[in-house]
Structure 1
């Protein structure tokens, strides 16, 4: 496996959905370099474009959760989709590198925001059994399919403006979804908008052919908890107690190091032996079985042990690459693919696990914060690859070691398997190291929480 000797040898990594990096041929970058003369003393501008895109992703990860928790899932979802599609279209008419880069940063902000908000909205609307398949196969497999189609588009469309147009047009097909996708009933309840939530649940019951009870909510009892449910959450609420702060810090580390592993292996794809388009396709194909395994694990096994085990697999295999002779290129690629299989499965499981740990009031904010930590990992991942200029095994030793380490840390997080989504901070599970023989605070207070009859959606 060839390691680039300098950052200039590595093709540009761009993303068109989900805030993830998709490796593909550098023809787009080369065309723009020729058009805007990004060579010689200005060659630093080309990699800076990608870095600034991820700065936008970082900003979007930070603000999307807070906006969604304050103004609603549906409103922010379609607003950020409009931002992504609109500014991507404007990029086609860029007349300078500066204009393209500024627009690209804004696209990154909208892109990750609608990805995270869509995930949260679907998780809160769907029932428990459907929620898991939506979070893994529903979201991630369709991402992998788009990932697989990308090298096909890039192979046949060599002009970067036309390629960008082809990647932007599908966003217009989402407009009719405004009249189909409802607001999250859980978010409406947390804001005290009980009638709107009841109307959505009644409609869902009718569609599913389930008789809806005359009374869905005990309004009087729910109004007693109104001060807590309707308070406006801020980022510091993720650190309000020792237990919550510990869960947040461990989650941030988990997302950060998993992101380093995922994006580090993705960045190495263009450096494999063989055709770059085929390598990109193979890198996408391996994600589909990873998502299927993630779905099966989430459906039947405890979260902590499943996530920890799959991280051990991915990290251990990557560590093993250093023992493979240099001439065994196919074996090295196979191990990288297996390592990406494990880390990709873990990445898809993180969303489900994170959602199950936090209450409705700050759930989107928590996912946004952890996603922001993931973006920091993606920004640093290229530097792990560049360490191969000094030692070709060093990137894999570091990524493998960090992945195994975070797999151990995962064992200390609370277990959410089989538990309902928490609605308040008191219902949050305890970190394992804080547990004792007494009943947890969440269990003690669950009897005081208002009873909500939720019809399967």
Structure 2
């Protein structure tokens, strides 16, 4: 960027003000970890079989009325069929014994006309057991999951516009309140349809909260803290909420109570309104220089440094068009912006298909679902720690493509693992989750560094919208596993490998100042590059001739 960073350099790279704000803002992301994956438990399908009404049947016929089916090469009791009740009752009344007097394979079958009987070993009650979302209605579970991500899509489309117009801070706290209200409203759902409708609002408020808080921190913190915030900060605190979720769900096995408890945690964020400031960068773009200076002066006081008489005095700031609101249409006006945005959309979509696909699949893996969810969450911790270290030293493009290949390649290998080696397949799936988590954390800061301040929230919102297309399809990709267990892995792996190639056409942002205006934005690489590409390279890739020397110094 240049101007803002230079004018506020007297604050230092760290200090009490930055670290306090860093911690308080990051606590907001814990709630997104709570609310992002509770569908894994409240939408899990427990062991079930057709309910047998209280009719006159012998004990032998009551056990034999459920046929044995072949599933994944194993013999198991059918979950959706039973032998015709009237026929079985007649055979029982005649005193005939199953297997000895009657060949079961020749008997006529029927569906679960009287409902289902569910095991309560793991879940006391969830939406599957309450509304019988099994067998012919099994598709309603991935549909419900998708409504959350449709809400993500809607929230991504509007949150950027609202945040750019009304401010990052206001939208963060409005989104927190909306998330609390919509989650507790969902706990009172009386039907599957009502549950899906409320899930839209949960998703919209959650992604609006995440994007607004992420952009607020990206713009507020210094170059040193920015990478830490976007990896060990935002993502790690999100992961803390994600790791806590399975243990809360383990203690609360009834879905309505679980949602009420999760929504109540939002109350602890109310006092943060008086401690988290607005983004000075955004205030400057709105022409509210006095408010921006007041925030910076308060930061200087808390950091114990002297403040210049005039902080923002550079004439370049006038090029930010105070009060001008940018929209998604501005992205279409430039060939460079169109190309960069299109490639970012592909990347975000592919990464989200893999990340959410593997995250939502934890309840389908062998073993304890609570422990599987915890393992899926805890594997993200080393990924965030490693990405923090690597982002300080390595090029974004190379890092992102490397971990996309790792994540996609591991998924393609799973199909070759024999069925009896379940723990090997589980280890590979966790390795794939590690690769996608690395890519997930890298693509956020990479995209935020590519777009200028005047379009950063709009750009992030559009990319997040494309990501939602990927996450909307993720539950259905996993649902394909009911037909062929390896098919989801082939689809996710192939898409990820293809997206790693697209990534190499984006500009590199390592050690570059955040661009403020469209003129300071870098050119994309390859066929999409325009006539300004050579100029950008000559200027050290900063997109700003006056910053050529600074960019080269930063790189060195």
* Pair 1:225-2:319 in alignment: yes
Which residue of structure 1 aligns with residue 362 of structure 2? 269
- Which 10-residue stretch deviates more, 378-387 or 24-33? 24-33
Report how far residue 375 of structure 1 moved: 1.0
The answer to whether the 8 A contact 1:359-1:425 is kept is: yes
- Which 10-residue stretch deviates more, 318-327 or 385-394? 385-394
Which residue of structure 2 aligns with residue 75 of structure 1? 170
- Which 10-residue stretch deviates more, 353-362 or 438-447? 438-447
* Pair 1:278-2:371 in alignment: yes
TM-score, structure 2 length as denominator?
0.73
- Which 10-residue stretch deviates more, 420-429 or 151-160? 151-160
| 1:28-39 map, 5 Å | 30-35=125-130
The answer to whether the 8 A contact 1:24-1:280 is kept is: no
Which residue of structure 1 aligns with residue 328 of structure 2? 235
149, 174, 185: which is aligned to 2:244? 149
Report how far residue 394 of structure 1 moved: 2.4
Paired with 1:357 and 1:202, the residues of 2 have a C-alpha distance of 29
Tell me the number of residue pairs that the alignment of Structure 1 and Structure 2 aligns: 434
Change in CA separation of 1:45 and 1:130 when aligned onto 2, cut-off 3 Å: same
Which residue of structure 1 aligns with residue 41 of structure 2? 24
Report how far residue 63 of structure 1 moved: 0.6
Report how far residue 181 of structure 1 moved: 0.6
Paired with 1:86 and 1:55, the residues of 2 have a C-alpha distance of 18
Paired with 2:400 and 2:423, the residues of 1 have a C-alpha distance of 28
The answer to whether the 8 A contact 1:84-1:106 is kept is: yes
User: Which residues of structure 2 form unaligned runs of 5+?
Assistant: 1-29, 45-121, 549-556
**Matched residue of 2:392: which SS?**
helix
- Which 10-residue stretch deviates more, 22-31 or 394-403? 22-31
> What are the Cα deviations for residues 310-336 of structure 1, in whole angstroms up to 9, with x where unaligned?
111111122222232222211111111
Paired with 2:227 and 2:175, the residues of 1 have a C-alpha distance of 24
Which residue of structure 2 aligns with residue 188 of structure 1? 283
User: Does 1 or 2 have the higher relative contact order (CA < 8 Å, sep 6+)?
Assistant: 1
> What are the Cα deviations for residues 408-427 of structure 1, in whole angstroms up to 9, with x where unaligned?
21111100110111000011
Which residue of structure 2 aligns with residue 336 of structure 1? 429
Which residue of structure 1 aligns with residue 337 of structure 2? 244
379, 387, 404: which is aligned to 1:311? 404
Report how far residue 234 of structure 1 moved: 1.0
Paired with 2:330 and 2:224, the residues of 1 have a C-alpha distance of 29
| 1:47-446 map, 5 Å | 47-218=142-313, 221-222=315-316, 224-225=318-319, 228-433=321-526, 434=529, 436-439=533-536, 443=542, 445-446=544-545
Paired with 2:311 and 2:247, the residues of 1 have a C-alpha distance of 50
The answer to whether the 8 A contact 1:78-1:178 is kept is: yes
The answer to whether the 8 A contact 1:239-1:248 is kept is: no
Paired with 2:473 and 2:437, the residues of 1 have a C-alpha distance of 18
Paired with 1:417 and 1:264, the residues of 2 have a C-alpha distance of 30
Change in CA separation of 1:223 and 1:326 when aligned onto 2, cut-off 3 Å: closer
TM-score, structure 1 length as denominator?
0.88
